[in-house]
Structure 1
Amino acid sequence: MRLTRRATLATLAPFAVARAQPAWPDRPVRLVVPFTPGGSTDILARAMGQRLSEIFGQPFVIENRPGAGGTLGSEQVFRAAPDGHTLMMGHIGTLAVNPALYRSLSFDIAAFVPVALVANVANFLVVTNRLEATDVRSLIALARRDPGRLTYGSGGNGSAAHIAAVAFMEATGTEMTHVPYRGTGPMMNDLIAGTINLTMTGGPPALPPVRAGQLRALGISSRERLPSANDIPTISEQGVDGFEALQWYGIVAPPGTPAPLVARLNAACNGILGEPPFRARLETEGATAQPVTPAAFGAYIAAERERWGALIRRANVTLG
């Protein structure tokens, strides 16, 4: 059958477009962590980055870009070329809390493209060994006896640890003094040293010093105990009925990142999260794999933004 010139061009057009599309990734991919090394975001990013490097044959380089509660690194990724070579390991703070805290940002956090929800991480309520509280009930009693005396640390104003502690104080009618740090790592060092009294932070930075006997875990913020830390009771079962405050982590891309590329990345991430050795690795860190579609991840971010924004407004949380 003879084809007309128009038919021939129409038939070949898709192949021409496909050939014009550059291969991805054709160079190292930057996976930006908008916080200092040592926190849950950094630990999970390095775990995912290692496996993504093996799958795609290009390095996924972790870049720590801390500052302003994660907004500095977030803005760098937001303004990067939407070609899949710059990504961010976002989390509850950068994607759901910051919109309520930073009301004059020069970029729209909601415009990030959701790629893959990686994991939920329960917060561990951990205290210095110098503190006399031995469980959640005794901690609440201590905090109520002398409002404001106990100090709790976080990786910075508006960080996930900060907001989780605010949720705990609201649920228990207690008042404690916030001590923000420039990252989770320095905060944990001071907690071990006894400079501050307690924190509510994710399993990756909390569990190693707890297991080493350097800190004491009083409870976890999930509704159920974790298989990897079944000896640690939930906060809910210690008299704070229904309490839940989870951190979560996921990969996002700059606005305009093509949907086919996002789908490819999502499939790779979900495949990693389905690998038994990787899931077991997450569980030892107190994390639970959460493979979902980009659309489901986007809906989850929106719901969390509403939930935590309401808490911030009720508690009048500020950056001061």
Structure 2
Amino acid sequence: MLIVRVITGLAMGLVATSGFAQDYPSANVRLIVNVAAGGVTDAVARVIGQGLFEKWGKPVIVENRVGANSAVAAQAVARAPADGHTLFVTADAPFTSTPFMVKELNFNVSEFAPIALICRLTPVIAVQASLKVKTLEEFLALAKSKPNVLNYGSQGLGTYGHLGMEDFMRRAGIRMTHVPYRGGAPAIEGLVRNDVNALIINYSNISPFEQSGDVVILAAASEKRASVRPNLPTVSESGVPGFSVSSWFGIFGPSQMPPNLINKIRDGVGEVLSNEKSSGFLGLNSCERETATPQEFARLIAADAEHWKAVIQSVGIKPE
């Protein structure tokens, strides 16, 4: 039922009556972010905001509104005028997995218009070096010999690191105990300190600790090999066929934004992300640039929601 609402709700935003975008922006633009300052989402928003300011000549202000399973940020955008001056910069989870994990979520995907797909992270599976495994096949053999003995960390309940690892364990036939952290940085610290044995995390965040000898990166957790490390096999290539995990970032506005305004913002974001400074930022953070029309973006959201719904149900996670 939710998937139908995803498709029809996003479509409503895309076919709204066309308005005039020539004078946009006519005031300060606010980029509402649902996480605290310092994370990747916040950094992505600030790079885009600075670039749009330079392009449009109007201040673009990043506001961090944290809490209530992203509802604080989401409601600030959903309830704003559909004039493009209040936009939502977020990772995928509030629209693709959170609706299946939270009973009373105070926002709905139908309240938003998808504007621009920004980029995807490069997830990898990393393990503690003390395990003495060098390949994913060796790690699977170890985990199968010690059911429920090993553990894994994540960025928190419902994150790609949590749900992705649950899907990985289900497909691989292994069991590990989940240790949720509050964000990627403490989860990495837990892995480096040997408090947890494994982690699905973005490549750029964990690679320095491989270089220092604290962890071993076993496989790319994405569908395809990562461009930043093409010799690293995927999980699917390494004995767990069909597995992949994805986490992307996007920009949304209120649902009734006219198509010509959506396109103007999308084009502006695309120009910003194509410049040398933004490309350098994306590369440094192992984020792969993604492009999609608003319609393609809406279909991606619906497909990812279907995927995470199936994962959540298959592992028995109940909405709370």
Asked if Structure 1 and Structure 2 have the same fold, meaning a TM-score greater than 0.5 normalized by the shorter chain, the answer is yes
Question: How large is the RMSD of aligned CA atoms in angstroms?
Answer: 2.7
Higher alpha-carbon deviation: 258-267 or 273-282:
273-282
The residue that corresponds to 2:32 in the other structure is 32
Is 1:178 paired with 2:178?
yes
**Compared CA separation, residues 18 and 250, structure 1 to 2 (3 A):** closer
Q: CA deviation at 1:166?
A: 1.5
AA partner of residue 267 (structure 2): A
| SS of equivalent residue, structure 2 residue 153 | strand
Judge conservation of contact 1:151–1:176 (CA < 8 Å) in 2: yes
Instruction: Output the CA distance in 1 between the equivalents of 2:30 and 2:305.
Output: 26
Identity of aligned residues (%): 31
- The runs of 4+ residues in structure 1 deviating greater than 4 Å are 211-214
Partner Cα distance (1:318, 1:255) in 2: 29
Shift of 1:41: 2.5
Encode CA deviations 1:54-76: one digit per residue, 9 max, x unaligned.
22223433333333543443333
8 Å CA contact retained: 2:219, 2:234: yes
* 2:304 equivalent in structure 1: 304
In 2 relative to 1, CA 210–73 (structure 1 residues): closer, same or farther, beyond 3 Å? Answer: farther
SS in 1 for 2:257: coil
Could you tell me whether the CA contact under 8 Å between 2:74 and 2:107 is conserved in 1? no
Shift in CA distance, 106/220, structure 1 to aligned 2, threshold 3 Å: same
Contact 2:153/2:187, CA 8 A, preserved across alignment = yes
Q: For 1:1-320, list aligned pairs within 5 A.
A: 23-27=24-28, 29-275=29-275, 278-279=278-279, 281-318=281-318
CA distance in 1: counterparts of 2:36 and 2:208, whole angstroms = 18
User: Does the C-alpha gap of structure 1 residues 296 and 198 become closer, same or farther in structure 2, counting only changes over 3 Å?
Assistant: same
Q: CA deviation at 1:175?
A: 1.4
Out of 196-205 and 68-77, give the one that drifted further.
Answer: 68-77
Q: 1:31 to 1:151 in 2, by over 3 A?
A: farther
5+ long unaligned stretches in structure 2: 1-18
Q: CA–CA distance in 2 between the matches of 1:32 and 1:204?
A: 25
Question: Distance between the aligned counterparts of 2:71 and 2:201, measured in 1?
Answer: 20
Structure of greater Rg: 1
Cα deviation for residue 214 of structure 1 reads 4.3
Q: How far apart, CA to CA, are the structure 2 residues paired with 1:23 and 1:277?
A: 24
Q: CA deviation at 1:37?
A: 4.3
8 Å CA contact retained: 2:120, 2:249: yes
* Cα gap change, 1:241 to 1:116, in 2 (>3 Å): same
Question: Matched residues in 2 for 1:18 and 1:226: separation?
Answer: 41
Change over 3 Å in CA distance of 1:62–1:127 after alignment to 2: farther
CA distance in structure 1 between the aligned counterparts of 2:71 and 2:142, rounded to whole angstroms? 35
Instruction: Encode CA deviations 1:89-121: one digit per residue, 9 max, x unaligned.
Output: 222211111111123212213431101011122
Alignment match, 2:8: none
- Unaligned stretches of 5+ in structure 1? 1-16
Shift of 1:280: 5.2
How far apart are the structure 2 equivalents of 1:171 and 1:60?
Answer: 44
Please give the alpha-carbon distance, in whole angstroms, between the structure 2 residues aligned to 1:72 and 1:178.
27
Measured against aligned partners, the alpha-carbon deviations of 1:186-216 in whole angstroms (never above 9, x if no partner) come to: 2223222222222112234333444454432
| Superposition deviation, residue 47 in structure 1 | 3.0
**Contact 1:45–1:62 (Cα < 8 Å) also in 2:** yes
Separation (CA, whole Å) in 2 of partners of 1:159 and 1:91: 10
- Partners of 1:203 and 1:289 lie apart in 2 by 15
